Amino acid sequence: MEKIRLLIVDETAKAREIIRYALENSFSKIEIDEACSNTEAREKLESRYYDLILCDWESRSISGSELLKWMREHPELKKTSFIMVTVSNDRASLVDALQAGATSYLIKPFSVVGLVHRVISVVSRLDRRVAERFVSDSPVSLAFQDRRLDGALIDISMSGFLGTFKREGIFPQILERIVMSLRPEGSAEIAGIHGVVVRIQSAETDAASQYINIAVKFMHISSENEKALLRFFDMLKLKL
């Protein structure tokens, strides 16, 4: 899985430090850069690629709306994901920002969980656009806390997977970290892939369904497991 490249735009050094610490301790593959002004942000955006911009909307030396407008008019930056960080929870203002091109928003004060969840949400959308997904019903298990949940894949990519599991006992919650093990037919087990749960829903329209679907975003894949997954995907391609 490629690194997430993120730019924090905020005039306050302490705010940048808190965001950096929270994200670096939540994502194993993340590369964070910082800018303290619109000018510095533009210079960095012109010189290198970022997956995501996390920008303070109301700072005195940073006009989030001006930076967003400039990016949406820039031929190479108009589709770059942009999370506005704002103290305003006025619905009309938030709607205006989203219509102007903001991808999402984060309202101050926010928790570490809220920050991580919002970044996961935006990055997951990026992954769905660029990551090739493969359908498979191979057995899969999730280890969390001191428990294990067995089920079957629905689909999988290098960024994560969707699986179906029987609704019994305790299962992991949204944002809970898990360790996945996959047992492809005719090949060795792929074990020890770390991820975080990003979605849980009933497997059927009936809320009383005995099965649930769990979506997991991969957080860390070793080079050995990355190669094993690529071999697994090659096997699935041959079956198409």
- What digits encode the pLDDT tens for the residues 166-203? 887 788 988 899 999 999 887 789 999 999 998 898 87
> Is pLDDT at 6 greater than 90 in this prediction?
yes
Query: Which pLDDT score is estimated for 52?
Result: 93
Using the predicted structure, report yes or no on whether residue 24 has a pLDDT greater than 80: yes
Is a pLDDT exceeding 90 seen at residue 112?
Answer: no
Query: What is the model's pLDDT at position 20?
Result: 93
Q: Do 131 and 39 touch, CB atoms closer than 8 A?
A: no
Residue 42 above 50 pLDDT? yes
In percent, how much of the chain has pLDDT > 70?
94
**Per-residue model confidence (pLDDT) at position 1:** 46
Question: In the predicted model, what is the mean pLDDT of residues 222-230?
Answer: 86
Tally of CB atoms within 10 A around 204? 12
For residues 67 and 137, what is the distance between their CA atoms, to the nearest angstrom? 45
pLDDT at 89: 81
Instruction: List C-alpha distances in Å: 148 to 76, 90, 189, 211, 216.
Output: 45, 43, 16, 16, 15
Name the burial class of residue 201, with classes exposed (0-12), middle (13-18) and buried (19+) by CB atoms within 10 angstroms of its CB: exposed
Report which listed range, 104-108, 139-143, 230-234, is most confident: 139-143
Instruction: Return the SS3 of 19.
Output: helix
| Average pLDDT of the residues of the chain | 87
Q: Which of 34, 113, 95, 78 has its CA nearest to residue 105?
A: 95
Q: How much is the pLDDT for 100?
A: 86
Cβ(199)–Cβ(212) below 8 Å: no
The whole-number pLDDT of residue 168 equals: 79
